Amino acid sequence: MDRLFGTDGVRGVVGSELNPLFIARLAYAIGSYFGEGSRLLVGSDYRYGNNAIKRIVEGSLLLAGLKVYDAGYAPTPAIQYVVKTQGFDGGVMITASHNPPEYSGIKVIGPTGIEIDRDEERVVEEIYWTERFRFASWRSIADRVEEYPYVLDMYVDAVVREVDSERISRRGFKVLVDPANNVGSLTTPRILKRLGAKPIVINGNLDASPARYPEPTPDTLVETARLVKVYGCDIGVAHDGDADRAIFIDSEGRIQWGDRSAPLLIKHLVLNRGERGRVFTGVSSSTIVEDVLKPLGVEVVWLKVGSVDIAHAMRRAGDALCGFEENGGFMYPRHQFVRDGGMSTALFLELLAWENKSASTLFDELPRLYVLKTKYRMSRDQALRVVEFVKEEFKGERMITIDGVKVIHNDYWVLVRPSGTEPLLRVMIEAKSEELARIILERVEKCVKQVVPQ
């Protein structure tokens, strides 16, 4: 059976891959998985096609005999928090996160607020492909979807409760917020105001036009970073479409990846909040985290790329301090096990309030490596063949092979892995110099050419 779920939910191009027949069948499989009488909360971010997709999903769930509650537009972590705390059996979020504007997707959330795990995904897929749907009798079908307009308030309240709002408020921080014209605009400015900060919001309208690419990267955040300096902000924060990720921009207008902000947040949890535990992250994260946390006695657990796997690993372990991803996802189990852009923002302000240093100063205290990221279009099978050539090219070095291959050397590390959402080979390199990074890339490209001749 072909896989429907990728690294993070089911995604596809609206109208072709995500067509009405596919959506209805998938939703009916989801409804059959949860079972008649289950209570599901449904939300979405703001993308072309999402309203139509949500109507099909909700109608199909009703016809499967479920009780369906509509949360409207909301960040993914808001839906996840309310599912976990309000006794829902699960949830469905309509979003494609950072993918290009022609995409949307469907995330399936379990009762813990975490997306269902890989084994549960396969159960849904089996129902989909074998058509072993559970058909509800007409007497048990609810006649309408219930509105559930409480999600945003519950979520904002929960984030604010988790941090020292008085300490933050005394600093009067000025924060530039770029929610990519999506649902982060509904919550992050509210969180900041409740914490006594002054939010300056750009790209803050709900707007599904394709002009604004929804992934927060150095390429898409050039103007955002410039405005952080223009307005004299203490920090800038940029979200992806569904606001479960937060990329920070320091007071000098420098864009900082998630694997540079996470070590600072983790040090804050340990040194200022007195919390302990292991840190869970994907192999795409920088090895800087090991350098920073080893003196604190904090163990780093390396996992496959993907927030779903990290979240479930933390919950199973029972001793997680936090989890994070280099793309800006940060997971704080005391709040919830999933990545949460609003929670990350509140914690970063608490860090600044505790340390009484600028964000730029804090980031400058971290080791500085040259970062190089690129990608090559190819099939997954081709990407896996490249991985094998890379293993041979770098044999003798320390390797992590749970998701592609990550080669770790004293002066550099390189990760080569197939994308979980697109037909791509992704390559990430960090090195002590640009020259060394280019040399490592040339060695990787030699492997690529053995599979996909240029």
| pLDDT tens, position by position, 56-87 | 999 999 999 999 999 999 999 999 999 999 99
Indicate whether 422 pLDDT > 90: no
Least confident of 207-221, 333-347, 376-390: 207-221
Query: Phi-psi bin for 105: left (phi > 0), alpha (psi -120 to 50), beta?
Result: beta
pLDDT at 116 over 70: yes
- Integer CA distances (angstroms), 296 to 129, 278, 310, 433, in order: 49, 11, 22, 27
Q: Count of alpha carbons within 13 Å of 234, Cβ hemisphere only?
A: 21
CATH dotted code for 370-451: 3.30.310.50
Give percent of the chain with pLDDT exceeding 90.
Answer: 89
Angle at 43 between CA 38 and CA 44, to 5 degrees: 145
pLDDT of the residue at 98: 84
Which residues have a catalytic role annotated? 97
Contacts of 174 (CB under 8 A, 6+ apart): 197, 198, 200, 231, 232, 233, 234
Q: What is the pLDDT of residue 38?
A: 97
Q: At what angle do helices 434-451 and 380-393 cross, to 10 degrees?
A: 120
Q: How far apart are CA 324 and CA 263, in angstroms?
A: 9
The answer to whether domain 10-149 and domain 370-451 are alike in fold is no
The encoded tokens of residue 115 equal 């997306």
Q: What is the pLDDT of residues 335-365, one digit of tens each?
A: 999 999 999 999 999 999 999 999 999 999 9
Residue 317 reports pLDDT greater than 90: yes
Q: Where are the beta strands (DSSP E) in 306-418?
A: 320-324, 330-332, 336-339, 370-377, 398-400, 405-408, 412-418
Residue 49: pLDDT band (50, 70, 90) is very high
- Which tokens belong to 386? 């490249």
- SS3 letters across 289-327: HHHHHHHHCCCEEEECCCHHHHHHHHHHHCCEEEEECCC
Fold of 10-149: Alpha-D-Glucose-1,6-Bisphosphate; Chain A, domain 3 (3.40.120)
Burial class (CB in 10 A: 0-12, 13-18, 19+), 80: buried
> Is 389:447 a contact under the CB 8 Å cutoff?
yes
pLDDT, mean of residues 254-274: 96
pLDDT confidence bin for 1, thresholds 50/70/90: low
Whether 211 has a pLDDT exceeding 70, the answer reads: no
Structure confidence at residue 316 as a pLDDT band (50, 70, 90): very high
Q: Quick one: what percent of the chain has pLDDT higher than 70?
A: 99
The domain limits of the chain are: 10-149, 154-364, 370-451
For the domain spanning 154-364, the CATH number is: 3.40.120.10
Among residues 115, 95, 98, 116, the alpha carbon closest in space to that of 106 is found at 95
Binned at pLDDT 50, 70 and 90, residue 213 comes out as low
The average confidence (pLDDT) of the chain is 95
In the prediction, which pLDDT does 39 show?
98
Q: Are 352 and 197 in contact (CB under 8 A)?
A: no
Q: Is the pLDDT reported for residue 395 higher than 90? A: yes
Burial code (b: 16+ CB inside 10 Å, e: under 16) for 2-11 equals eebbbbbbbb
pLDDT of the residue at 33: 98
Summarize the confidence of residues 75-102 as an average pLDDT.
95
Residue 210, pLDDT above cutoff 70? no
Using CA atoms, how far apart are residues 391 and 393, in angstroms rounded to an integer?
A: 6
C-alpha 291 chain-centroid distance: 24
d(CA 9, CA 107): 5
Please check whether residue 23 is in contact with residue 56, taking contact to mean a CB–CB distance below 8 angstroms: yes
DSSP 215-237: S--TTT-HHHHHHHHHTT-SEEE
Q: What is the pLDDT of residues 128-156, one digit of tens each?
A: 999 999 889 988 899 899 999 999 999 99
Non-local CB neighbours of 446 within 8 Å, separated by 6+ positions: 393
CA distances to 216, 223, 341, 370, 429 from 258, in Å: 11, 19, 11, 15, 15
Helix (H, G, I), strand (E, B) or coil at 175: strand
What is the reported pTM? 0.92
